[in-house]
């Protein structure tokens, strides 16, 4: 999400989301984002998933599960295609309420990802207690993964935890070929970052969202490198 301000131009969510959380307007913003994302995804001919960030205020709202259910019904999106990303800091505000909400969301068939893993509190106990479907390694660990052995050791440990728990691990903030090479060698399941794609209008990804075949292999060049990344898009 980006804010196109008439005077300030493009405003990053890193600037306006904290203000929205402090003022309480994140509830309205979050509901709008969730509804728009689900409505957009429901129109794709290739039924790939969509991930949406959830703030702490949303997670601890007693009506949040009902809101998610209502939006899924209104948009017709299969719950299995929706992934909600939750940060560890959102959990610690009220662990019992968070656990109840996450279990309710799982009962709807929605997938849950732990976002920014490694930057919050009691990461390992949270992985054991909460019903997560994916671990996302915070971008701060990825930036030095190919140059700092301590960071590399931490990333290897997280990947090992994911394999042990049978949870896919996604690396955030991948920006260089060296980072990609390290993650490939260490068998990281998924990546995201400017190396493979920058924030853009969804129409630019029509070759993925509207693939005609039920299964196809795609290759696209990495920006500024000439290398290609192969993707397999599988329709359900």
Burial class (CB in 10 A: 0-12, 13-18, 19+), 162: buried
In this predicted structure, the answer to whether residue 176 has a pLDDT above a threshold of 90 is yes
Instruction: Enter the DSSP assignment of 1.
Output: -
Smallest Cα–Cα separation from 37: which of 220, 172, 209? 209
pLDDT tens digits for 180-205? 999 999 999 999 999 988 888 898 88
What percent of the chain is predicted at pLDDT more than 90? 63
Q: Does 226 score more than 60 pLDDT?
A: no
DSSP string, 21-38: HHHTTHHHHHHHHHHHHH
Eight-state DSSP code of residue 60? T
Reduce the DSSP state of residue 233 to 3 states and report it.
strand
**Residue 44 to residue 56: CA distance in whole angstroms:** 29
So what's the pLDDT on residue 218?
Answer: 53
**Which residues are CB-neighbours of 116 under 8 A, at least 6 positions away?**
87, 88, 136, 138, 172
* Domains of the chain: residue spans and CATH: 3-234 (3.20.20.450)
Q: Give the model confidence (pLDDT) of 86-142 as tens digits.
A: 988 888 778 888 999 999 999 999 999 999 887 766 567 778 788 899 999 999 999
Q: Is residue 175 predicted with pLDDT exceeding 70?
A: yes
pLDDT mean over 165-177 = 94
CA distance 188 to 141: 14
Looking up tokens 């913003």, which residue turns up? 29
Cα 57–Cα 59–Cα 64 angle in degrees, nearest 5: 105
Neighbours of 60 (CB within 10 A): 15
Strand partners, 171: 137, 191
Decide if 47 contacts 212 (C-beta within 8 A).
Answer: no
d(CA 234, CA 236): 6
């Amino acid at each position: 999400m980006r804010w196109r301000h008439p005077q300030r131009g493009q405003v990053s969510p890193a600037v306006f989301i904290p203000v929205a959380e402090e003022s309480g307007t994140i509830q309205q913003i979050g509901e709008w984002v969730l509804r728009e994302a689900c409505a957009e995804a429901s129109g794709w001919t290739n039924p790939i998933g969509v991930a949406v960030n959830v703030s702490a205020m949303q997670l601890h709202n007693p009506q949040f599960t009902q809101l998610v259910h209502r939006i899924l019904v209104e948009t017709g999106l299969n719950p299995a295609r929706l992934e909600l990303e939750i940060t560890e800091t959102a959990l610690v505000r009220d662990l019992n309420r968070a656990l109840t909400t996450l279990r309710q969301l799982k009962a709807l068939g929605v997938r849950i990802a732990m976002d920014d893993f490694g930057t919050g509190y009691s990461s390992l106990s949270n992985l054991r207690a909460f019903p997560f479907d994916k671990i996302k390694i915070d971008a701060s660990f990825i930036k030095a993964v190919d140059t700092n052995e301590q960071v590399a050791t931490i990333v290897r440990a997280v990947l090992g935890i994911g394999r042990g728990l049978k949870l896919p691990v996604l690396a955030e903030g991948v920006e260089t070929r060296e980072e990609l090479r390290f993650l490939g060698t260490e068998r990281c399941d998924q990546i995201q970052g400017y190396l493979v794609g920058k924030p853009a209008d969804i129409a630019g990804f029509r070759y993925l969202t509207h693939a005609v075949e039920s299964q196809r292999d795609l290759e696209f060049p990495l920006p500024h490198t000439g290398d290609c990344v192969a993707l397999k898009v599988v329709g359900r």
